[in-house]
C-alpha cells in the first residue's frame, strides 16, 4: 500500500463517518422528546413499526433517508421528509413500506413529503411490488398548501396512483395507526385492505372542531371516526387492532398468504464474494476529484469472484463495458474509466470524459444487454462529453445522442451508482435520475452538478466581476479572491451528495460496501415485473 492509498482511505473513512453521523441524527425524526410523547400515547415510532414488521433475518434498504435535509428550516425542518420508506421482506415477500413519522409536525405533508411518497409508489409500480402504508398523519402542512395541493406531482397524485396500482393487481395494505384526515383519508380506503388501531387510529374527512364550525354538530373524534365506528358502523376499515403490534401482526398474516408472482426471469446463480478485498475501495477512490484512478479496480471489488468480462476492451477506453455477476445476478456494467488512456493511434484521452468511440461502444453494449435481458449497472464518475473542434467534427453530438437514445429506450432495469463526478450531459448519458433508473444512489465521494465547483465559480466570478465593472466599480485582487471563495462555497454546497439526496435526485447516500446489496435487492424487485415491450431505439443518426 502506498502513501496515497492511506491518505485516500483516511479521507473516505472520514466521509463514511460523517454519513453515519448524519443518519443517526435523521433517525431521531422530530427529536427524543417527541419520540417519548409518541410512546406515552401507546404508539410505536415510524421506524419501530417498520422494524417490527420486516423480517429480521433479511436485508432492507431505506429510500430517501436524507430527504428534506437542510430544507424548510424556517418551518422547523422536515427530517426524512416526515415519512420513512424501506424496501424489505414481510413473511419472505419483498415489498415496500411507507410509514408517516408523527414526530415531525404530526406527520404533516410538506411538498418534499409528497415527492417521496410518489417515489415509493413509482418503485412499487415499476417493479410490481406490494406496498404497505402505515398511516399516522395530520394531512397537508397548511402553511405550504400552495406547493403541495393542486399540481400533477402533488398530493392528489397519491390517490390516483392508488387506483392505478389496484387496476394493475399490485397489493396495497394500509394500517391507520394515528391520524388520517381530510384528503389523506382516501389513501387507506383506496388500498386493497385497511386496518385501524383502536383508540389511537382515526379516519375522517373533517375532525370534530371543523365539523362543529361547518355544521354545528358536537361530536368527539373517536365517535366521529374511530376504530369501532369504521369497523362496525361505516364498514370503511376491514380489521380492528388493539395496538400497533397487533395491527402489524395482522399485516404479516395477510402478506404470508399472498401467492407467488410472475417473474421477469433475470439470470441468477449462487452468489460468490469478490476475490479482491472490498474495503480497498476506500483507498482507491482519490481524495481529490482531479486525480486519476483505475475504475477496473473498483469493479473487481463489486462483482462476484472479481470476474469482469470486458466488451470491446480495446475500443472506446474511457468507458468500460462488460458482463459480470453481482450477488449471483447477471449484470451488464457501463462505467466511466477515470485514468488517462491511450488509443490505438497513440493519442491520449482524458479519464472521466466521454469520447465518440466510448459513446458508440456504450450504445452497442446497452443494445446487447436489452437483447439478452440483462439488467444494466451504471458506475458514474464523469465530467461530460469531449469538446473542441476535433470532437465536433468527429460527430460527438451524434454519438452522444445515440448513447442517450439507448439509455432512454432501454427496457431492462437500470441501476445507477454515482461514485465520483456526475457533471452535465455525462449525468444524462450515464443514466441520471431523468432516465428512470430503478434505483440511483451516491457514495459519499459523489458530486452532482452542471460542472465542478471550481469551474462554475470561475465562470460565475467572470460574470459578476464584469457586471460590477460595468457599474464603474473597481475590483481589487483581494476582493476578487473573496468573491471567488464565496461563490465556490455556495456552489460546493449544491454539488454535495446530501444536497442531491435531500431533493430526491438520488434515492440514498450509501456506504460503498453496501452497493452489492442495493443492486441485488433492486434486481430482485425488478424481477417481479416482466418486460412488456421490445427494445427499440427509434430514429438515430448513424
Would you place residue 77 in the very low, low, confident or very high pLDDT band (cuts 50, 70, 90)? very high
Highest mean pLDDT among 119-128, 338-347, 377-386, 531-540: 119-128
pLDDT at 297 over 80: yes
pLDDT at 76 over 70: yes
pLDDT at 72 over 80: yes
Q: Give the whole-angstrom CA distance, residue 104 versus residue 30.
A: 5
Nearest to 42 by CA among 175, 200, 201, 174: 200
pLDDT at 1 over 70: no
- Asked if 1-28+264-446+506-534 and 31-256 have one fold, the answer is yes
Phi, psi of 359 (to 5 degrees): -65, -40
pLDDT at 4 over 70: yes
Looking at 121-125, 317-321, 376-380, 464-468, which range is the least confident one? 464-468
Q: Give the whole-angstrom CA distance, residue 113 versus residue 115.
A: 5
Nearest to 360 by CA among 316, 392, 323, 407: 316
Q: Give the whole-angstrom CA distance, residue 447 versus residue 35.
A: 34
Per-residue model confidence (pLDDT) at position 482: 80
pLDDT at 347 over 70: yes
Q: Give the whole-angstrom CA distance, residue 26 versus residue 34.
A: 14
Instruction: Name the percent of the chain lying above pLDDT 90.
Output: 70
Paired strand residues for 321: 334
Instruction: Say if CB 415 and CB 375 are below 8 A apart.
Output: yes
Query: What is the SS3 string spanning 256-318?
Result: CCCCCCCCCCCCECCCCCCCCCHHHHHHHCCCCCCCCCCHHHHHCCCCHHHCCEECCCCCCCC
pLDDT at 390 over 90: no
CATH superfamily membership of 1-28+264-446+506-534:
2-enoyl-CoA Hydratase; Chain A, domain 1 (3.90.226.10)
Instruction: Say if CB 314 and CB 342 are below 8 A apart.
Output: no
User: In 3-state terms, what secondary structure has residue 456?
Assistant: helix
pLDDT at 290 over 90: no
Is pLDDT larger for residue 109 or for residue 21? 21
Would you place residue 43 in the very low, low, confident or very high pLDDT band (cuts 50, 70, 90)? very high
What mean pLDDT, rounded, does the chain reach?
92
Per-residue model confidence (pLDDT) at position 420: 95
CB < 8 Å & 24+ apart, contacts of 34-42: 34/103, 34/104, 35/103, 37/103, 38/102, 38/103, 41/200, 42/199, 42/200, 42/243, 42/244
pLDDT at 183 over 70: no
Query: Within a 10 A sphere around the Cβ of 400, how many other Cβ atoms?
Result: 26
Q: Give the whole-angstrom CA distance, residue 207 versus residue 78.
A: 24
Per-residue model confidence (pLDDT) at position 367: 96
Q: Give the whole-angstrom CA distance, residue 505 versus residue 428.
A: 12
User: In 3-state terms, what secondary structure has residue 521?
Assistant: helix
* pLDDT tens-digit readout, 210-262: 888 888 888 888 888 889 999 999 999 999 999 999 999 999 999 999 999 99
Q: Give the whole-angstrom CA distance, residue 432 versus residue 256.
A: 36
The whole-number average pLDDT for the span 1-30 is: 94
Per-residue model confidence (pLDDT) at position 71: 93
Would you place residue 184 in the very low, low, confident or very high pLDDT band (cuts 50, 70, 90)? confident
Per-residue model confidence (pLDDT) at position 393: 60
Nearest to 247 by CA among 239, 255, 237, 259: 239
* pLDDT tens-digit readout, 436-486: 999 999 999 999 987 776 777 777 778 878 787 788 877 777 877 887 888
CATH number of 31-256: 3.90.226.10
Task: Specify the DSSP element, H or E, that contains 320.
Answer: strand 319-326
Instruction: Say if CB 499 and CB 70 are below 8 A apart.
Output: yes
Q: Give the whole-angstrom CA distance, residue 463 versus residue 468.
A: 9
**DSSP secondary structure string for all residues of 231-246:** IIIS---SEEESSHHH
Q: Give the whole-angstrom CA distance, residue 236 versus residue 178.
A: 16
Instruction: Name the percent of the chain lying above pLDDT 70.
Output: 98
The domain spans of the chain are 1-28+264-446+506-534, 31-256, 452-494
Looking at 21-35, 188-202, 443-457, which range is the least confident one? 443-457
Amino acid at each position: 500500500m502506498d502513501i496515497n492509498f492511506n491518505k485516500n482511505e483516511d479521507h473516505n473513512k472520514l466521509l463514511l463517518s460523517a454519513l453515519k453521523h448524519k443518519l443517526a441524527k435523521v433517525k431521531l425524526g422530530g427529536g427524543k422528546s417527541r419520540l417519548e410523547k409518541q410512546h406515552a400515547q401507546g404508539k410505536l415510532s415510524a421506524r419501530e413499526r417498520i422494524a417490527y414488521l420486516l423480517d429480521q433475518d433479511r436485508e432492507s434498504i431505506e429510500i430517501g433517508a436524507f430527504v428534506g435535509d437542510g430544507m424548510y428550516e424556517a418551518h422547523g425542518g422536515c427530517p426524512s421528509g416526515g415519512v420513512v420508506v424501506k424496501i424489505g421482506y414481510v413473511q419472505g415477500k419483498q415489498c415496500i413500506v411507507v410509514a408517516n413519522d408523527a414526530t415531525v409536525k404530526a406527520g404533516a405533508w410538506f411538498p418534499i413529503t409528497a415527492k417521496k411518497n410518489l417515489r415509493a409508489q413509482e418503485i412499487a409500480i415499476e417493479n410490481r411490488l406490494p406496498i404497505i402504508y402505515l398511516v399516522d398523519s395530520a394531512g397537508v402542512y397548511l402553511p405550504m398548501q400552495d406547493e403541495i395541493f393542486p399540481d400533477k406531482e402533488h398530493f392528489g397524485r397519491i390517490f390516483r396512483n392508488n387506483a392505478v396500482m389496484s387496476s394493475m393487481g399490485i397489493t396495497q395494505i394500509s394500517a391507520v395507526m394515528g391520524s388520517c384526515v381530510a384528503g389523506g383519508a382516501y389513501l387507506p380506503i383506496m388500498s386493497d385492505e385497511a386496518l385501524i388501531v383502536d383508540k389511537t387510529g382515526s379516519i375522517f374527512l373533517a375532525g370534530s372542531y371543523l365539523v362543529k364550525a361547518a355544521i354545528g354538530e358536537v361530536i368527539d373524534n373517536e365517535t366521529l371516526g374511530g376504530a369501532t365506528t369504521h369497523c362496525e358502523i361505516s364498514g370503511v376499515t376491514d380489521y380492528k387492532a388493539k395496538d400497533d403490534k397487533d395491527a402489524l401482526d395482522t399485516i404479516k398474516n395477510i402478506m404470508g398468504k399472498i401467492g407467488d408472482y410472475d417473474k421477469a426471469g433475470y439470470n441468477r446463480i449462487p452468489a460468490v464474494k469478490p476475490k479482491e478485498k472490498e474495503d480497498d475501495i476506500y483507498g482507491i477512490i482519490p481524495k481529490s476529484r482531479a486525480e486519476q484512478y483505475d475504475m477496473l479496480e473498483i469493479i473487481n471489488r463489486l462483482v462476484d469472484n472479481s470476474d469482469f468480462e470486458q466488451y470491446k476492451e480495446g475500443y472506446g477506453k474511457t468507458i468500460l463495458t462488460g458482463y459480470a455477476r453481482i450477488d449471483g445476478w447477471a449484470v451488464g456494467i457501463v462505467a466511466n474509466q477515470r485514468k488517462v488512456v491511450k488509443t490505438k493511434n497513440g493519442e491520449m484521452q482524458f479519464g472521466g470524459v466521454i469520447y465518440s468511440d466510448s459513446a458508440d461502444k456504450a450504445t452497442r453494449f446497452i443494445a446487447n444487454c436489452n437483447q439478452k435481458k440483462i439488467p444494466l449497472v451504471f458506475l458514474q464518475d464523469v465530467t461530460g462529453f469531449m469538446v473542441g473542434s476535433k470532437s465536433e467534427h468527429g460527430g460527438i453530438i451524434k454519438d452522444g445522442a445515440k448513447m442517450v437514445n439507448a439509455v432512454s429506450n432501454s427496457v431492462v432495469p437500470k441501476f445507477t451508482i454515482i461514485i465520483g463526478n456526475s457533471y452535465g450531459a455525462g449525468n444524462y448519458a450515464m443514466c441520471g435520475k431523468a432516465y428512470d433508473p430503478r434505483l440511483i444512489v451516491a457514495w459519499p465521494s459523489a458530486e452532482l452538478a452542471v460542472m465542478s465547483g471550481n469551474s462554475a465559480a470561475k465562470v460565475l466570478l467572470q460574470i459578476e466581476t464584469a457586471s460590477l465593472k460595468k457599474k464603474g466599480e473597481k475590483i481589487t485582487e483581494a476582493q476578487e479572491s473573496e468573491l471567488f471563495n464565496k461563490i465556490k462555497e455556495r456552489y460546493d454546497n449544491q454539488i454535495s451528495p446530501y444536497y442531491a439526496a435531500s431533493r430526491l435526485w438520488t434515492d440514498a447516500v450509501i456506504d460503498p460496501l453496501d452497493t452489492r446489496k442495493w443492486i441485488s435487492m433492486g434486481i430482485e424487485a425488478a424481477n417481479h415485473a416482466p418486460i412488456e415491450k421490445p427494445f427499440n431505439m427509434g430514429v438515430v443518426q448513424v
